[in-house]
Chain A
């Protein structure tokens, strides 16, 4: 019981934290609601700024998790506190269609109940690490950008999946895209969707993906529509410079106002070129929306179970954003990663290691 920890969330944050805790001799159980660990990183091909394979980052994290008890398909349904620590109840979910039951339930399972708890398990530990991460902003909500309506409007996550598949990237008509647009700040810095915050990593993702499209199709024209380019970390500004100098990517300062589909499937964009002060109209073959971060669907639920404070943006507030950013304010409950707001992968790894260090100290001293 002494050195037991439960980590909730098996993305890069939870994986790194659990691995580091196991390395320090703790008995760690990692609960992941999906069928696999890896979270968002598992859906990336190459990472900014150095184009490292995302799979290599995950392999590294998995290497450290050999002594971690990983439970996948485990959705947290309850958390209780007692003098020995915490008991986390998780339902092992399975598709409703696989469970025998009244015919009416089976008949309706597709639309009414997709998953059924196949049984509950309790896990007890002295400390908890919350690593629920984030969800991608649902680009459909920006209806004026046409995602889910126009076939040649995709998200940055869709594009990453296409890169990962290794296939040529074509328009929905099967053509090589001659002109590609990237739209920054989709779901970020936008009161109309309720998100005032910056998602931080979309800018550099847009620059990275613009370069990758030029590598694939050197004669294609690539345009990034931005409000500011927030190249906050080391090598990011250089990547932006490379996109301009080596690849001739054009950056147009102006937020996409709206777009429409032409009969041939191309997309016509309307924005203001704010540096010339004129409205601008342009046809593109493929439009990529750089979707931002929103709090993960499980964050509100789990924060509610523990009575944790969340900001108006929905992300979890730590005890102190400067000096106690891994502490929740509840002794024994630690916070790590993107559940506290948008961060990059390298920041998530550093944060997870810091969490593991503070948690080990807590278990030794009994103090947060």
Chain B
């Protein structure tokens, strides 16, 4: 490939038709309550890590559903497992186990 001194930028669009859903299926099998999220943001509002970083747990499990795994790999490390998100979730989503499941998915699927 000739270097013209510039490159094409990948668009920001979530392309659902070409998403990688292996991670979502893996996580859902370990923690089915992922389906119950209503996107209220209680989890991310109460999140200890979010007070100091741009970690957003609410967004994390929505992104994984959309098959866009690359953008969250580095994010997972920011969780401190305090469990406040899980205490506050109005739908009873087991968020702490969800983070563990996401970590396991990345370990096993790369």
Q: Residues of A with Cβ closer than 8 Å to B?
A: 229, 241, 244-245, 248, 250-251, 253, 273, 275-283
CB <8 Å contact, A273 and B36: no
Residue B75 interfacial (CB < 8 Å): no
10 contacts across the A-B interface (CB closer than 8 A)? A244-B35, A245-B36, A248-B35, A250-B65, A276-B62, A278-B14, A279-B13, A279-B14, A280-B14, A281-B16
Assess the B36–A275 pair: CB atoms within 8 A: no
Beta-carbon contact of B36 and A244 below 8 Å: yes
Tell me the smallest distance from the CB of B35 to a CB of chain A, in Å. Answer: 5
B:1-48 near A, CB below 8 Å: 12-17, 32, 35-36, 38-39
Q: In the complex, what's the smallest C-beta–C-beta distance from A287 to chain B, in angstroms?
A: 14
Which residue numbers of B lie inside 8 Å of A, CB to CB?
12-17, 32, 35-36, 38-39, 58-59, 62-63, 65-66, 68, 91
Q: What's the least CB distance linking A262 to chain B, in Å?
A: 10
Q: Do B13 and A275 touch (CB < 8 A)?
A: no
Additional pairs, 5, CB under 8 Å, beyond known A244-B35, A278-B66: A248-B35, A279-B14, A280-B14, A281-B15, A283-B16
Q: Please determine whether A276 and B63 come into contact, CB atoms closer than 8 angstroms.
A: yes
Taking a contact as CB atoms under 8 Å apart, the answer to whether B35 and A282 are in contact is no
Bound: A39/B17 CA distance, A: 40
Q: Judging by beta carbons under 8 Å apart, are A280 and B66 in contact?
A: yes
A276–B14 CB distance below 8 A: yes
- Residues on A with C-beta less than 8 A from B38 are 229, 251
Name the residue on A nearest B58 (C-beta).
A275
**Smallest CB-CB separation from A229: which chain B residue?**
B38
- B13 CB contacts on chain A under 8 angstroms: 278-281
Chain B residues, CB < 8 A from A280: 13-14, 16, 66
B62 proximity list for chain A (CB < 8 A): 273, 275-276
Q: A283 with B35: in contact, given A275-B58, A275-B59 (CB under 8 Å)?
A: no
Cβ-defined contact, A273 with B17, below 8 A: no
In chain B, what residue has the closest Cβ to A237?
B38
Q: A273-B62, A273-B66, A275-B59 are in contact. Are A253 and B17 (CB under 8 A)?
A: no
Measured in the bound complex, the distance between the Cα atoms of B90 and A13 in whole Å is: 37
With a CB–CB cut-off of 8 A, which chain B residues contact A229? 38
Asked whether A282 lies within 8 Å of B63 as measured between CB atoms, the reply is: no
Alpha-carbon separation in the docked complex, A283 to B19 (Å): 12
B66 and A283 within 8 A (CB): no
